[in-house]
Chain A
Amino acid sequence: MNEWNAMNSSEPDQMSETSPAPLRGGDLVLRLAAIGVVIAGIAGLFLYAGGWFNPHALSPATMITAFEQTSGKHPGFRRNHAKGVCVSGYFESNGRGVALSKAVVFLPGRVPIIGRFALAGGQPYQADAAHTVRSMALLFKLPDGEEWRTGINNIPVFPVNTAQGFYDLLLASAPAPATGKPDPAKMSAFMEKHPESAKAMQLIRSQPVSSGFADSTYNSLNAFRFINAQGVMTPVRWAMVPVQPFVPYHAPDSGQADKNYLFDALITSIQSHPLQWHLIITIGQGDPTADATLPWPPDRQQVDVGTLTINQVESEDTSPARDINFDPLILPSGMSGSDDPLLSARSAAYAESFTRRESEHKDPSAVSPAETGK
């Protein structure tokens, strides 16, 4: 510090000229005003870029605040898919994915994974229910230090195709304070405004629900791009298809079923034997990549690129997976997002949710270490 001062002050003042005469009143005011305009202009542009002049615009913060408003604030928990349990295991690639993507994960061999099963919704203590969307989140740890993170759901298509649609649905399906159930008038208004969602929800409802987490198929919903070593780009969607046979859902026998019966069944089955899924890549052929409400035709080519094995289960109270943001755009080289606008919106909203919960003290999870045996 002193050295810097010394460097400056040791230099003799060599300016050969003196300043011009002081400015006259009018000119001075004009020049001062010009400086003010420049400074205020740059500051204004900065605030504009940060959305300060449009506080009601849809942003990561407004999206996550909407979750807090509709589900209540649950410090330390994810704002969506709040109720969950953490797992680990490995993915064994069969090498067939190499033709589609140069991603290291598709080279033949095994990579460790950690992950999380969860139920959609912002309430971490909600009772398990058949029609609540189930999710699987995975982090593949690749040998070169890269990561592939993905969050996939047991529905065939996503109910919305834009962030605005998602926000509208979130508000429309919020439980009304009086009844504790969504307001039917708000839902029908939403459906009218979003015909694509009405169609998608019809498709979602028509799909038979499986008995639990273990026999569910989890879909990427969004489209992605695979790039192989030759530089060829392929539009894809992926799914984890269970090795466990599909058993149709039937309601638990007594009306007083445990609130965690879906999670308990998952924990019991992982503790008795590893669960497995095939990673199935569906190749798009001119199919829509920017609209997650639209299914791709069922006859599209599918490639089984490897098997996921899950053999450990742990409460998020102790698992490192609690502090992982399963951002769908954390992708290894050889994969990239498509033009689906939901991908960037998910990435942004997940980051906001992550930042909020990491600074909060978290209460114990519904699925406890005692239940998972850890």
Chain B
Amino acid sequence: MANNPTQFALLSRILHWLMAAMLLAMLFIGVAMVASLGNYHRLVAIHRPLGIMILILAAIRLVNRMCTTLPPFPPTMSPLERRVASASERLLYTLMFALPLVGWGMLSAGHYPIVMFGPWHLPPILPANPTLYAVLRQTHTLLAYLLFATFLAYLSAVLFHTLIIRDRLLNRMALWSTRSRKSKRSSTT
């Protein structure tokens, strides 16, 4: 990343796209499963371990985030826009931790076994308690809607930069290296 400061570090970019796919899948599985009778069990069986995988990846991602230098914001972003971008990043990180933890806590409070794969299961992280379960169950739904809304706002902003401002904001997160293309372009213009 030192040689290519306009892009995020490779590990950051891999984690970004992997988690984007997992989180979006998780949101769709979640909203579909609570409305489904026939597919409920199949979806819950994916939802639980996938949520724990997201929690683990979120921890790895946070450490990675703390340890890497970020590419600068493009000059096309105003100070206000930069503050909004940083705040939404913090919100997304918080939700990546909060949603799986609330889910895990909710199952604990609801006296459910937290089944992962086969006989492998997780211990409860909260005591069984009906009120606690009810509050966490509601919180899980609200946080999921908040995550989806934040994702839509975030995607709108990225699309606006990419299609309207055309400042190649997306290149910062592209999985491939964008340096050679950029330097070629700047030499021809």
Chain B residues, CB < 8 A from A32: 164
Give complex CA distance A49, B148 in Å: 13
- Beta-carbon contacts under 8 Å, B22-41 to A: 27-28, 31-41
A252 within 8 A of B: no
On whether the beta carbons of A347 and B41 are closer than 8 Å, the reply is: yes
B12 within 8 A of A: no
State the interface size on chain B (CB cutoff 8 A): 63
Given contacts A325-B112, A345-B40, contact A46 B28 (CB under 8 A): yes
On whether the beta carbons of B110 and A358 are closer than 8 Å, the reply is: yes
B64 within 8 A of A: no
On whether the beta carbons of B113 and A325 are closer than 8 Å, the reply is: no
A144 within 8 A of B: yes
Give complex CA distance A143, B43 in Å: 27
Give complex CA distance A332, B120 in Å: 10
On whether the beta carbons of B133 and A60 are closer than 8 Å, the reply is: no
The segment out of B13-21, B49-57, B69-77, B97-105 that lies at the interface is: B69-77
Given contacts A7-B70, A333-B118, A355-B137, contact A19 B42 (CB under 8 A): no
On whether the beta carbons of A35 and B159 are closer than 8 Å, the reply is: yes
The residue of chain B having its C-beta at the shortest distance from the C-beta of A350 within the complex is B40
Distance in angstroms from B46 CB to nearest chain A CB is 13
A343 within 8 A of B: yes
Given contacts A4-B86, A38-B155, A147-B113, contact A104 B119 (CB under 8 A): yes
Among B33, B121, B167, point to the contact of A146 (Cβ < 8 A).
B121
Give complex CA distance A46, B156 in Å: 16
Given contacts A15-B6, A354-B110, contact A8 B73 (CB under 8 A): yes
Given contacts A31-B164, A332-B119, contact A46 B42 (CB under 8 A): no
Chain B residues, CB < 8 A from A144: 119
On whether the beta carbons of A42 and B72 are closer than 8 Å, the reply is: no
B3 within 8 A of A: no
On whether the beta carbons of B86 and A344 are closer than 8 Å, the reply is: no
Distance in angstroms from B73 CB to nearest chain A CB is 6
On whether the beta carbons of B35 and A50 are closer than 8 Å, the reply is: yes
Chain A residues, CB < 8 A from B32: 49-51
The residue of chain B having its C-beta at the shortest distance from the C-beta of A11 within the complex is B72
On whether the beta carbons of A348 and B37 are closer than 8 Å, the reply is: yes
On whether the beta carbons of B90 and A344 are closer than 8 Å, the reply is: no
On whether the beta carbons of A18 and B75 are closer than 8 Å, the reply is: yes
A324 within 8 A of B: yes
On whether the beta carbons of B133 and A28 are closer than 8 Å, the reply is: no
The residue of chain A having its C-beta at the shortest distance from the C-beta of B85 within the complex is A8
Given contacts A38-B159, A46-B148, A325-B110, contact A14 B35 (CB under 8 A): no
On whether the beta carbons of A59 and B36 are closer than 8 Å, the reply is: yes
On whether the beta carbons of B111 and A35 are closer than 8 Å, the reply is: no
Proximity bits, B149-177, A CB within 8 Å = 1, else 0: 00010011001100111111000000000
Give complex CA distance A333, B37 in Å: 23
The residue of chain B having its C-beta at the shortest distance from the C-beta of A323 within the complex is B130
Chain A residues, CB < 8 A from B38: 163, 341, 344-345
The residue of chain A having its C-beta at the shortest distance from the C-beta of B133 within the complex is A358
Give complex CA distance A341, B38 in Å: 6
On whether the beta carbons of A324 and B163 are closer than 8 Å, the reply is: no
B186 within 8 A of A: yes
Chain A residues, CB < 8 A from B83: 5
Give complex CA distance A60, B41 in Å: 12
On whether the beta carbons of B113 and A330 are closer than 8 Å, the reply is: yes
The CB with the most chain B CB atoms within 10 A, among A18, A28, A163, A351, is that of A351
Chain A residues, CB < 8 A from B76: 15, 19
7 pairs from A and B in contact (CB 8 Å cutoff): A28-B164, A35-B163, A39-B155, A345-B38, A347-B41, A348-B40, A355-B137
Name A's B-contacting residues (CB within 8 A). Answer: 1, 4-5, 7-9, 11-20, 23, 28, 31-32, 34-35, 38-39, 42-43, 45-46, 49-51, 57-61, 63, 104, 144-147, 163, 320, 323-325, 329-330, 332-333, 337, 341, 343-345, 347-349, 351, 354-355, 358-359
Name B's A-contacting residues (CB within 8 A). Answer: 5-6, 27-28, 31-42, 44, 69-76, 82-83, 86, 89-90, 110-113, 115, 118-119, 121, 123, 128, 130-131, 133-135, 137-138, 148, 152, 155-156, 159-160, 163-168, 182, 185-186, 189
Counting from the closest, the 3 A-B pairs by CB-CB distance are A359-B134, A348-B40, A51-B35
